């Protein structure tokens, strides 16, 4: 059974959260509020990126394809090469790299795919921390860039000092603190 990834966002009017949920829900909520267009900011919950509004009907940012669970029957195999979503792009390497890749099981492409998968699995925790810090900083810059202590809070965020970060944002508006705490929830986890 496939699980849909519904993109979510949050809208702020000044420093107060006024809507949260799917893009369609937030658009519906904002249309019912007596706020002028441009008097609120909308942020994508996955990336912390500010989103322009109004967006066209049915708009939602591109999301990864939904993952299909193993309990579904496999598709009937077709004749020819399988469609794996392979995209050809240019890779520039030194001759010694090409020589080594050519000697690997499955050739250069298979070896590169294995190397990338190994690196992704090895650094998943570090990547989550980096992405959480970047999302938090995007949000902070847009909504809290002129609040007192912004620079110190940014330094604490990138230094991964959770206690100092919480202290620096403690006097910010409550809705901003709450959303920022949620965005940064993975920014302070210990790296292996």
Q: Could you tell me the residue ranges of all domains in the chain?
A: 8-51, 96-192
Q: What is the pLDDT of residues 112-134, one digit of tens each?
A: 888 888 887 877 888 889 999 99
What 3-state class would DSSP assign to 74? coil
53 Cβ contact list (under 8 Å, min separation 6): 11, 27, 30, 37, 40, 42
Answer whether 30's CB lies under 8 Å from 19's CB: yes
Residue 21 is encoded by which pair of tokens? Answer: 């949920």
β-strand partners of 181:
none
pLDDT, residue 143, reads 94
Share of the chain residues as helix, strand and coil, in percent rounded to the nearest 5: 45, 10, 45
In angstroms, the Cα distances linking 23 to 42, 119, 176 are 10, 33, 20
Q: How far is CA 145 from CA 43, 139, 153, 171, 174, in A?
A: 15, 9, 10, 14, 16
Long-range contact pairs involving 86-93 (C-beta distance under 8 Å, separation at least 24): none
Please state whether the predicted TM-score (pTM) of the whole model is above 0.85.
Answer: no
Query: Mean pLDDT of residues grouped by 10 in the chain (192 residues)?
Result: 73 93 90 83 93 73 50 54 70 87 86 85 85 95 94 95 94 95 88 52
Burial of 170: CB neighbours in 10 Å, binned 0-12, 13-18, 19+:
exposed
């Amino acid at each position: 059974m496939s699980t849909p990834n519904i993109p979510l966002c949050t809208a702020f009017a000044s420093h107060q959260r006024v809507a949260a949920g799917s893009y369609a829900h937030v658009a519906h909520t904002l249309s019912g509020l007596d706020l002028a267009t441009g008097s609120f900011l909308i942020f994508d919950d996955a990336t912390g990126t500010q989103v322009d509004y109004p967006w066209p009907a049915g708009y939602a940012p591109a999301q990864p394809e939904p993952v299909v669970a193993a309990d579904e029957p496999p598709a009937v195999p077709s004749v020819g090469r399988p469609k794996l979503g392979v995209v050809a792009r240019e890779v520039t390497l030194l001759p010694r790299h090409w020589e080594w890749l050519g000697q690997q099981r499955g050739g250069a492409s298979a070896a590169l795919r294995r190397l990338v998968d190994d690196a992704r699995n090895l650094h998943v925790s570090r990547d989550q921390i980096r992405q959480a810090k970047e999302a938090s900083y995007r949000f902070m810059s847009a909504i809290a860039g002129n609040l007192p202590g912004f620079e110190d809070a940014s330094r604490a965020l990138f230094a991964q000092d959770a206690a100092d970060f919480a202290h620096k944002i403690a006097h910010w508006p409550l809705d901003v603190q709450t959303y920022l705490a949620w965005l940064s929830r993975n920014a302070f986890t210990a790296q292996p």
